[in-house]
Structure 1
Amino acid sequence: MRKLIAGLKVSLDSKVEGPEGFADWVSAWSEDYGLTPQIDAVVIGGGMYPGYEQYWTAIENQPDQPHPLTGVNPTPAELEWSRFAAETPHYVMSSTVTTSEWKQTRFIGGTDDIANLKRQPGKDIYLMGGARLTASLLDAGLLDELRLIIYPLIAGEAKALFATIEHRHSLDLQRVKQLPDGLVSLVYTIK
């Protein structure tokens, strides 16, 4: 069975976005978890998807220009992810978002769809977020692995990754890696 692997960039106090609705401490939104070689599908929540599609479409369409949202040129890793994302099926779990500009986008409605996706042949699946979707799939027993990049800051009043978790979950630490600028990469399997 395919694994569902969540990869998220969080503050030390497990916040995924600040009061303005985004994680202003993250300098690039590339896939920095080492997942790309082992995945062939992406799951993303409907609240996050419209901004995600807009962000990566801008990089795909103008790879050598400053990004309209950030004002800076895309990093090499962002360019790599934009090419990968344009060719990779994205499954948007939403009851409200139903349209997309990307031809590779499909819409799904619930945890049964995720369970069915895991049973299909293929590589592993990257659960990109958001926080509510990650928590609900963890509670549903569908999340197999959690990869976090921890930023050395306490965000305070902000959206917490695990704010909506309903059940206790034990994790098994698989890997710890210190990254530049005080970041730490953690990989856990879900028991």
Structure 2
Amino acid sequence: MRPLRYAINVTLDGCCHHEAGLPPDEESMRFWTAELQRADALLFGRTTYEMMESAWRKPASGIWPGWMDDWQRPFASTIDGAPKYVVSSTLTDVDWNAELLPGDLPDAVTRLKQEPGNGLFVGGVTLPLALANLGLIDEYVFVVQPLLAGHGPTLLSGLREHIPLDLVERHDFRSGVSALRYRPIP
């Protein structure tokens, strides 16, 4: 069974709004690129899918936008080319190497996990909460930003039960960011 990995940036006070952390640097972008490369497919809710597509989809011209630095292009290429599944009750069609995930969420995700491969990557806020509540997440990666946001959506707010975790890896960045990898304790 391939693991489902949830990874997200989070501030020390638990804020996981995409604009609340430190701006990405070369080291963090290398980390995120490697995380995406560990996955056979990405799993997004509608909001995360649309946000990522608007930022990281390669333009029809085939030329990355001028705002993108050279060190951001490996991440952009990786996410742009990755297969994606989108969970949405409002979208009727997706593209960008994506397909809508049909059916009941727990059954559909369980089917994806049962396929052969290296793993699945899920990002965002709402969908990971639902998956955590269903006990379907096999690994949590929190990239902890050394700041207090004081606002915004918080990490896994609304979780129904405690999930005890075991720290299996830690990577500290020069910027003061720490990437913490946890697995649920059975």
Please, what TM-score do these two structures have when normalized by structure 2?
A: 0.86
2: distance between equivalents of 1:115 and 1:31?
Answer: 29
Give the deviation of 1:59 after TM superposition.
6.7
CA separation of 1:40 and 1:25: change in aligned 2, threshold 3 A: same
Alignment partner of 1:2: what SS? coil
1: distance between equivalents of 2:169 and 2:80?
Answer: 30
Give the deviation of 1:75 after TM superposition.
4.8
Q: Which residue of 2 is the match for residue 27 of structure 1? A: 23
Structure 1 contact 59–79 (Cα < 8 Å) conserved: no
Give the deviation of 1:36 after TM superposition.
3.6
Residue 101 (structure 2) aligned to one of 92, 95, 108: 108
2: distance between equivalents of 1:48 and 1:125?
Answer: 15
Q: Which residue of 2 is the match for residue 134 of structure 1? A: 128
Alignment of 1:147 with 2:141, yes or no, is: yes
Tell me how many residue pairs correspond in the alignment. Answer: 178
Q: Which residue of 1 is the match for residue 49 of structure 2? A: 49
- Structure 2: give runs of 5+ residues left out of the alignment: none
- Structure 1: give runs of 5+ residues left out of the alignment: 67-72
Alignment partner of 2:180: what SS? strand
Q: How many percent identity over aligned positions? A: 24
Q: Which residue of 1 is the match for residue 88 of structure 2? A: 94
2: distance between equivalents of 1:31 and 1:6?
Answer: 17
1: distance between equivalents of 2:162 and 2:99?
Answer: 31
2: distance between equivalents of 1:10 and 1:113?
Answer: 28
Alignment partner of 2:9: what SS? strand
Give the deviation of 1:25 after TM superposition.
2.6
Please, what TM-score do these two structures have when normalized by structure 1?
A: 0.84
Q: Which residue of 2 is the match for residue 14 of structure 1? A: 14
Give the deviation of 1:175 after TM superposition.
1.4
CA RMSD of aligned residues (A): 2.1
**Higher share of residues assigned strand:** 1
**2:148 partner amino acid:** I
Give the deviation of 1:161 after TM superposition.
1.2
Give the deviation of 1:184 after TM superposition.
0.9
CA separation of 1:93 and 1:26: change in aligned 2, threshold 3 A: farther
1: distance between equivalents of 2:159 and 2:70?
Answer: 34
Residue 175 (structure 1) aligned to one of 155, 169, 173: 169
Moved over 6 A (4+): none
Deviation by residue 1:89-148 (Cα, 9 ceiling, x = unmatched): 10111111232341x1011142211110000112211112x2121111111011000011
2: distance between equivalents of 1:84 and 1:186?
Answer: 22
**1:108 partner amino acid:** L
Structure 1 contact 63–74 (Cα < 8 Å) conserved: no
